[in-house]
Structure 1
Amino acid sequence: MKQLIIGAVAMALGAAPALAGDIGVAISHTDSFLAVMVEGMKSEAAKTNQPLQIEFAEADVNKQLSQIQNFIAAKVDAIIVNVVESSVSPTITKMAADAGIPLVYVNNTPDDLNTLGPKAAFIGSAELEAGTIETKEICRILKDEGKTKDAGILIIQGILAQHSAVMRTKAIHDVIGTPDCSFMKVIDEQTANWDPVKAQDLMSNWITAGYKPAAVIANNDEMALGAINSMKAAGWDMKDVVVGGIDATQEAMHYMQNGDLDVSVFQDAIGQGAGSVDAAIKLAKGEKVASPVWIPFELVNPANVDKYLSKN
């Protein structure tokens, strides 16, 4: 399947006239990154007065499947899905195909990425790249600080059934497995389901257990911030711990400016949202779109944080 790497998805896919009907949008859950992605969808749809029906599944697979069934029953012109669990995507793909409705996956990579067919597409970013960028930068910082002997690492994972969490965590282990970063040793890794409150509780449990990591590597910014809040509540000096996340959310950028967050990775929420709407419109018109569309990740650190203050 043809692959396309772009920086500005909406420009690459091009503008399209409005549809007569609606586009149904099923979003996995609510968080700050996805909120920005949805705003990107709304903004792009508004350019052509394209109606959107947006539903949130709150990380409930069955709820999302029900929402998609409702979209199909309403005979929407296309469906956009930010899938709750990647393994469920073959079921969703078949549901849409059987109904003859074009389908666009966005952000969370579907398991059936390579067999979506001509009336479906995926727009997102290569999650292995995100975890690799994050962990390599943490490795570099630890080296610069002279912490190159058995540097303890705690890993906070997202929803384990999602491709993004699996691949970001795999990347952490892949980087740690290289000779340059083999001094990094995993103390523990657990999921906080993308949730900052759960991450804060998890970090508090680790602190109570006596863990003193050199670095905390989280699958997203919100969990990284939850961990930071826990460490600060325990009286830790954040200069003693390197903390990384992914998404470059606005709140995270402020934490970085304050010296609490050391690493993030920019993921283009606006571009993914806008691109998914453009692709859905084109597919509904019977046009072809490139798939998958990969939007590159970008390293964010204190040296360039100002550049990303207004992006997500």
Structure 2
Amino acid sequence: MRKVLMAAAASAALLGSSVAAQAADTMALVVSTLNNPFFVTLKEGAESKAKELGYDLLVLDSQNDPAKELANVEDVLNQDIEVLLINPTDSDAVRSSVRAANRKDVPVVTLDRAANGGDVVSHIASDNVAGGKMAGELIVEALDGQGKVVELQGVPGTSAARDRGQGFHEAVEPVEGIEVVASQPANFDRTKGLNVMENILQAQPEIDAVFAHNDEMALGAIKAVQASGRDIIVVGFDGTADGVAAVEDGSMLATIAQQAGKIGEMGVETAAKVAQGEEVPEYTPVPLQAVTK
């Protein structure tokens, strides 16, 4: 009987250690929205790398709502996670989520969009300033340095929108023949890109080119341009499958391709190093490239 009890106790101890190990091998990924192909690809890259490295990955969708984001973070912080990976809905609003993780001593890694506060161990993102500049330079070249340009901005307050816009203006403002006739937010959304572009087309009789801060807005803008019958070139950003297809069929001049899946993979790789107590860079840039026909 004593041997049986000892065996049972040993089995319970092993089960307990197994449960503890499983809990210790869990990360969480809170994504700004899964209603956008770019972030779906980012999530898939993260899931693939987590599986490869032997981690469980909890994924929650914030639906572009900072309040939902904070609720998601509070939810995963009540579970035994090693690291929080977060793709912010808003670089300012996410401070509350980051600080909540800081209070629980859970390390934070941000993906694609930075946090404007709180203690973040590492940030994984494309060089959005460089990408915006690439887009502006493509437009300047396509227009031979002469023309009127529209900028469709992403979600105000996000580092991606700010940085892409900064790079774009750095490229076009020094060119005397280029005039930015409208800069309006369309929140990285295809339908809003369509609606905002329709309004701009009505207000602006002369438009030669559009730079959209992501492919979703660019694709919406293309629909509006096609409906108007006007000849306007469009450049997007992200290199999504739909964006690349639009470049290939000639409806879009170019897209600045981010590697969304790579951002997710590198995020999990970095989080794994953090969980193991290794030093990681504060910022890791992910390469960009211009996709043209």
TM-score (norm: length of structure 1): 0.82
Query: Aligned residue for 1:102?
Result: 107
User: 1:60: which partner in 2?
Assistant: 65
Taking the TM superposition and a 5 Å limit, the aligned residue runs for 1:44-55 are: 44-55=49-60
- The one of 24, 27, 32 equivalent to 1:23 is 27
Unaligned 5+ segments in structure 2 are 1-20
Q: 1:269 aligns with which of 254, 257, 260?
A: 260
CA distance in 1, matches of 2:54, 2:275: 15
The 1:128–1:18 alpha-carbon spacing in structure 2 relative to 1, beyond 3 Å, is farther
CA 1:19–1:48 in 2, change beyond 3 Å: closer, same or farther?
farther
| Offset from partner CA, 1:241-293 (integer Å, 9 cap, x none) | 22111111111111111111002111111111001111112212222212211
The 1-side partners of 2:283 and 2:165 are apart by: 22
CA distance in structure 2 between the partners assigned to 1:274 and 1:211 by the alignment = 45
Alignment of 1:1-12 (within 5 A): none
Counterpart CA distance in 1 for 2:274 and 2:206 is 52
Residue 162 (structure 1) aligns with = 158
Secondary structure of the 1:87 match is: coil
The partner residue of 2:213 within 204, 211, 219 is 219
1:1-312 aligned within 5 A: 20-30=24-34, 31-112=36-117, 116=119, 120-143=121-144, 148-149=145-146, 151-178=147-174, 181-236=175-230, 240-302=231-293
Distance, in Å, in 2 between the alignment partners of 1:92 and 1:86 is 11
In 1, the alpha carbon distance for the partners of 2:153 and 2:264 equals 24
Q: Aligned-pair distance for 1:235? A: 2.6
The SS at the match of 2:59 is: strand
* Structure ID, larger Rg: 2
Tell me the distance in 1 between the aligned counterparts of 2:112 and 2:152: 20
Counterpart code for 2:91: S
Displacement of 1:127: 1.2
Structure 1 residue 24: deviation in Å? 1.1
* Backbone CA RMSD of aligned residues: 1.8
Q: Which moved more, 1:79-88 or 1:165-174?
A: 165-174
Q: Distance in 1 between matches of 2:252 and 2:22?
A: 42
Partners of 1:224 and 1:64 in 2: CA distance: 26
Quote the Cα distance in structure 2 between the aligned partners of 1:21 and 1:254.
39
Count of equivalent residues: 272
SS at match of 1:189: strand
| Corresponding letter in the other structure for 2:31 | I
Ranked by relative contact order (alpha carbons within 8 Å, sequence separation 6 or more), the top structure is 1
Alpha-carbon distance between aligned partners in 1 of 2:23 and 2:265, rounded to the nearest angstrom: 16
Secondary structure at 2:74's aligned position in 1?
A: helix
Q: Following TM superposition, by how much is the alpha carbon of 1:298 offset from its aligned partner in structure 2, in angstroms?
A: 1.3
Give distance in 1, aligned partners of 2:236 and 2:163. Answer: 14
Deviation at 1:295, TM superposition (A): 1.2
Find the aligned partners of 1:69 and 1:95 in 2 and give their Cα distance: 7
Q: TM-score, normalised by structure 2?
A: 0.88
- Partners of 2:132 and 2:219 lie apart in 1 by 17
Find the aligned partners of 1:83 and 1:207 in 2 and give their Cα distance.
Answer: 31
2:23, 2:127 → 1: CA distance? 30
Say if 1:18 and 1:281, in contact at 8 Å, map to a contact too.
no
User: What residue identity is the alignment partner of 1:41?
Assistant: A
